[in-house]
Structures are given as C-alpha cells and as structure tokens.
Structure 1
C-alpha cells in the first residue's frame, strides 16, 4: 500500500471540509522519504484543502527532518484534531533497531529490521555503518536487502536479493543514526558540529538498480530545509550499471564512485560479474561523459587490494593508463576478510608500492584504513544477521550425525 492508496471516511455529521480520523490501519503508509511534491500529493489525496497543502507539508517536513519527531504529537503547529487524524492514517516512526555494535575504533554498526508486508512475520533486515573520523563522520547506508551482483570478494554479494528499499527506508537509516548520535536540535548534545557530515551509498545492494527510490531519498536528504546534506557530501557507489550512470548524474547529481577492482576484463569478470554485461571500456566511457565531471567533482574509483590477483605494479601501470583524462581519485581498499572468503589481502608492503606508483602518476590514492573489522562492519563485510544465522544453523545441522 502506498500513501496515495490511503482510504479516509468522512462522517455525514462532520462540518464541510473537516477531516474525521479513520480507524487506525495496521499498515499505515509512511510519510518519511516522500519528496515535497509527493508529500503534498499524499495530503491532498487524504483530503486536506488545496490552500493548506504547502503550509501543512512544510510543517510536517520540519517536524520530521528538522526536529526528528517520530509521531505527530510533537507537531504543535498543527491542531490537536489534525494531529490525531494524521496519526491514524500515516506513520512517521523509525525503522526497528535489532542490534547496535561498537568497534574498538569507534565505528558503529546497526542491524535494522524493515516493516513486514505480512502481519506477524518479521520483516527483512539491513545493516548500516557509521565511521567517525577527525572533523567528519561518514554514514554508509544500504539501498537493497541483499544484492544481485555476486561480486566474489564481497560478503553482501553472497546474500541473494530480497527486495529494493523504499525511499523512506533509505532516509530512515539516517534518522536512526541521528537518533543514536544525538544529532537532533532537541537532543542534549552540547556541540553544534554535525556528526554525520558525509553519506556514502556503499552499503548493501546496487543503488542504480533501485534508481527511483535512491533518487527520491537523496532529494530529501539534500533538501536545504531538512537534513540538508550537500550533494557534494553524498557519494553513490555503483559496480558499473553503465546505462544508468548518465541518468544518475543528471537526475541525482551527487558524487560518483565506481567499484572497479581490476584493470582487465578477464579479472574483472571474476571479481565483478556485471563486467560481462558492461565491460571496462564501456564503463570508463560512461565515466568520461558523467554530467558535471571536473577536477572539483572527481570520480572515485574503488580498488580492493587482493593478493596475487590485482595488486602487481603492472596492474598499477595499467590502472593509470585506463584512467588517463578522467578527473579521478583512487581509493585503495585493503581486502576485509569474511568467513569462507576465497581471497587474501595484499601484503602491506605491496599496497604501499602500488599506492606510491599511482600517486607519482598524479592520482590521489589514499589507502583506506580498515575500520570496524572486529564487528564485521568494514567495506564488503555487510550481510543481514538473519542470513548469517541461517547459514550457521545450516552448517551445524549438516555437521550433525545421521542415523
């Protein structure tokens, strides 16, 4: 059910134009994640007079995204009657936090449960990670439950796709993180400095396979009267869905990251099977044509360092050759192991040699410091806890003697 499907009854005794609260629906549609036009449309379909739509939408928007409210009671700019009526029809609550873990390095990971389409049956789960650094804090959020891409170095890729996240579920991750970090104006935190300064869509899933919901969510996140994160501080990472890259630049306009990880099609076909459909040459051509590309808006190329697979100096030379003419920086990512992973991380000395060559060629190539490894929160390690549990249960069952 969507917001536009909500039914509302008007009693014959009610004054003309008055709204009467419908019976609460067990699956009330959420207003979180609706763009401003869609929020106004939802309120119009609900029955609010046209002349009130812009004002009421602004009041609700402020309550959700500026104050972090989770119910309508706190929206005192609305009448008590209207608050009760809206509360019976719509939901603005949070995603359920199943677990929260904190790494020894300060990284935090949340397992979140999404709403279920079937009453009484637990909804699917996703993971989200917050990485604090000096002067900034990066929130890594998910776009899908599971993933279709089966990248062989990625733990998430071993989990089948369950479904896309809605725009509200994407935005909802940020709301949960701001709750936990005390980042709302009404919180008791003393500092005015933002803790979440950057958003990266590098969690579970391929964002460009959930384009409309990702686009709408990032429009809400970057709105100047709400969460207000600049699109220069939002990075969308894709494994290379070539036909959608230009569209992302035009309709979303955030920073772009490419999960490259190899310099030839033979290797990349194994690491990122999507390469068989969109090979490196086509991918890099799409990058060269990315709308708004400049030295100020460089593309980040992510390159996981895998021992004896893609980490030779010859690979570094070919990487530099491939990216010639593209304003770019190269993120070198030490491989983060997970149980059953078929790869090893490159030796640190080899990573440094690789980085030094790329740096001397004129490309910024920071080596990403592994964060949150002790809680399986590092890059490529995210996977729903329920899926991990089911896998461990299957292993134990298989180990049980028979007969």
Structure 2
C-alpha cells in the first residue's frame, strides 16, 4: 500500500487547523466549522462541507484526508443484536456490536485490531495484535452503530461499552481522546456516565485513570478471584496480581469516587463453586461496586463450557445474600458469534 502524503485531518486540533488556514490566507473561524463537520456531522468528504467555499475545500483536499471506517459486513441475530465487521483505511477489520435490550440501546466497540493479552477463553485473545485504533476510528464505530440503531429500531444509542476487540488501557491515549470526542458538545454530546471502559487489569493504567479523574465507568474483567485460577485463564494476572489490582482500584476510587463493575464469566466446574463466590465477595467488598455474572459463550479454540443455570443462580444468590449488588447477564447475539468473548474477525 502506497502511503499517502496527506495528513489525517482528524488528528489535528482546532488550533492546528486554524493555524493552517491563516497561513494559507483563509479565515481562522473556518476551523470551528470544519471541526463541526468532522465530528458533529461525521462527514467523510470535504465536498460535503457545504458552508465552506469551493476554494477552501480544494485547499483542504490538497493537504488533508479523512479516513473513515466502513461497514464491511453486518449480521443480525435472532434476538435483534447486530454485529458489524468494520473495515479500516488500511484494510484491517474490527468488530462492533449493537445490543438492543429495552430500555437500553448499547454499542460494544473495539479499541485495537486483535489483542496481545491471550486470555484463554476469548476468541480475540487468539489473534495477533496488529495495531491500536485511532480515536477517530473508535468514534466512527459509535457513529455507525448509532445509525444502525436509528435505522433498525428508530432510536439512538443510550450506552457505549469498550468491551470489543483489544485491551482499551493499552491504547490509553486514543481511548481517552475518543471518549472526549463522544462526550463533547462539539462531538456526539453523550454523557460520560453512559460509557463503560473495560480492562483485563492493567494496574498502573487503572491508577492513571484515577489521576486523570475520568468521568466514565470502569469495569474489570475478573473471572476468578484467586491468583492461581486467574493466572490459568488470564496471563496478565502474573504481572498484575489480585492484590496489586485491588490496591489500584482503591486508588482509582479514592480519586474519582466512581463505583467499579466486576465482570465475572462463570465456567463449568472451574470458577462456579460457592468457594469461588466467597473469594469473589472478599475481593469486591473493599469499595462500592457491582458484579455482572456473565454466561460463557463457547469458542472453537477453547474447551471451556458455560456453568449450569442452577449453579449460576446459586452463585448469584450467595453474593446477593452477602449484600453484593449482583446481576446475571444473559448472552446476546450468540448465534452470530457476537456475544461476549466471541469477537474475532479472522482476516484472510
């Protein structure tokens, strides 16, 4: 692929665009109009910027490019879930999911092409990490999935979860930039409280979230509350032990006052006993939190099975009686491999 000499205009700040315009004899106030077209209106061509003169559009087109994502393939599940393979400008593919669950309309979006963390139960973990997504590529997924929601259900998105392909905290800068654009009145204007960023547990970056006083929600993909078991399924735990994670989460909460969500997939005969539930309670009791119990969605690369329904309920009841705010989440989009842990666009 021949690398373009043009700059990606969405990587420039409004001030940088303004400087460029002034240097080229244009009015500086046009920068605000251009930014509105790029982010509020999500245009993909300079020609669509209709309140800007043809001469200025030609100048922009000569020096810059817009690199939008496109829907490569979309599938709709029997339960109404829509999974999309999004193609990036360099032909890489990532997946995003629209999850309609009254009263919510949730977009599950990706932050990396592939993943480097090799969690044994997750299809994405069996892929190589090719690269991080730019803030604009993350943003574009939200715009595209919102359009799908409008077209299919006549309503816009209510929630966004960074739970697709990749580890968001290993793409920290772009993830935070994308949240800023999504929540900005000069972007999509969504509330940060409607956004959840999920991590497999990068302790130093959890602390950084606290230092940056983020307003969005944080979820930890826990899945086992003792180190021996968690090491087996999540190698990241070897460098980020449960004790280290607990201290990082306490620091994060002390800075942000945001409760933490713990995601816990229940695997048959692995982490579904009452002893496991007790260990989970002991881990979560240190700060305000909630626990989402998640059904496991089998993948061809792994031998795990979902726990039995009665065991899941007994597990949840045990936590509830301990005063834990616990919810059992049912899988959505399993028939099209759109459920939790199943995203893996195998590139050809």
Matches for 1:200-215 after TM superposition, within 5 Å? 200-215=161-176
| 1:270 to 2:232 alignment | yes
Find the aligned partners of 1:173 and 1:214 in 2 and give their Cα distance: 13
Find the aligned partners of 1:50 and 1:248 in 2 and give their Cα distance: 41
Q: Could you tell me how far 1:254 is from its partner in structure 2?
A: 1.6
SS at match of 1:289: helix
Contact persistence 2:67–2:89 (CA under 8 A): no
Q: Partner of 1:346 in structure 2?
A: 307
Q: Larger % of strand: which?
A: 2
Q: Tell me the TM-score normalized by structure 1.
A: 0.80
Q: Partner of 1:4 in structure 2?
A: none
Q: Which runs of 5+ in 2 are unaligned?
A: none
Q: Partner of 1:242 in structure 2?
A: 203
Find the aligned partners of 2:68 and 2:174 in 1 and give their Cα distance: 18
In structure 2, do the counterparts of structure 1 residues 46 and 162 end up closer, same or farther at CA, with 3 Å as the change threshold?
A: farther
Q: Could you tell me how far 1:326 is from its partner in structure 2?
A: 1.0
Q: Partner of 2:52 in structure 1?
A: 78
What RMSD, in angstroms, separates the aligned Cα atoms of the two structures?
Answer: 2.2
Q: Partner of 1:120 in structure 2?
A: none
Q: Partner of 2:148 in structure 1?
A: 180
Q: 1:149-195: CA deviations, max 9, x gaps?
A: 10011111010111111112111212222343448xxxxx996x5x2
SS at match of 1:131: strand
Say which of 196, 200, 217 aligns to 2:178: 217
Find the aligned partners of 1:84 and 1:376 in 2 and give their Cα distance: 44
Number of aligned residue pairs? 344
Q: Partner of 1:364 in structure 2?
A: 325
Q: Could you tell me how far 1:258 is from its partner in structure 2?
A: 0.4
Q: 1:52-86: CA deviations, max 9, x gaps?
A: 44x32321222233223222223222222112221
Find the aligned partners of 1:219 and 1:244 in 2 and give their Cα distance: 18
Contact persistence 2:46–2:60 (CA under 8 A): yes
Find the aligned partners of 1:66 and 1:162 in 2 and give their Cα distance: 29
Find the aligned partners of 1:190 and 1:312 in 2 and give their Cα distance: 40
Q: Could you tell me how far 1:374 is from its partner in structure 2?
A: 0.7
Find the aligned partners of 1:333 and 1:135 in 2 and give their Cα distance: 19
| 1:58 to 2:32 alignment | yes
Matches for 1:280-291 after TM superposition, within 5 Å? 280-291=242-253
Q: Could you tell me how far 1:50 is from its partner in structure 2?
A: 9.7
Q: Could you tell me how far 1:213 is from its partner in structure 2?
A: 1.2
SS at match of 1:345: coil
| 1:44 to 2:19 alignment | yes
Q: Partner of 1:138 in structure 2?
A: 106
Say which of 293, 299, 305 aligns to 2:266: 305
SS at match of 2:329: coil
Contact persistence 2:9–2:65 (CA under 8 A): yes
SS at match of 2:293: strand
Q: Could you tell me how far 1:212 is from its partner in structure 2?
A: 1.1
Find the aligned partners of 2:100 and 2:322 in 1 and give their Cα distance: 30
Say which of 68, 85, 88 aligns to 1:114: 88
Q: 1:67-121: CA deviations, max 9, x gaps?
A: 23222223222222112221333233531221111111111111112122xxxxx
In structure 2, do the counterparts of structure 1 residues 45 and 85 end up closer, same or farther at CA, with 3 Å as the change threshold?
A: closer
Find the aligned partners of 1:159 and 1:244 in 2 and give their Cα distance: 23
Contact persistence 1:240–1:283 (CA under 8 A): yes
Find the aligned partners of 2:328 and 2:153 in 1 and give their Cα distance: 33
Q: Tell me the TM-score normalized by structure 2.
A: 0.92
Q: Could you tell me how far 1:332 is from its partner in structure 2?
A: 0.6
In structure 2, do the counterparts of structure 1 residues 27 and 363 end up closer, same or farther at CA, with 3 Å as the change threshold?
A: farther
Q: Which runs of 5+ in 1 are unaligned?
A: 1-24, 117-122, 184-188, 391-403
Q: Partner of 2:134 in structure 1?
A: 166
Find the aligned partners of 1:246 and 1:161 in 2 and give their Cα distance: 24
Contact persistence 2:168–2:197 (CA under 8 A): yes
Find the aligned partners of 2:319 and 2:95 in 1 and give their Cα distance: 33
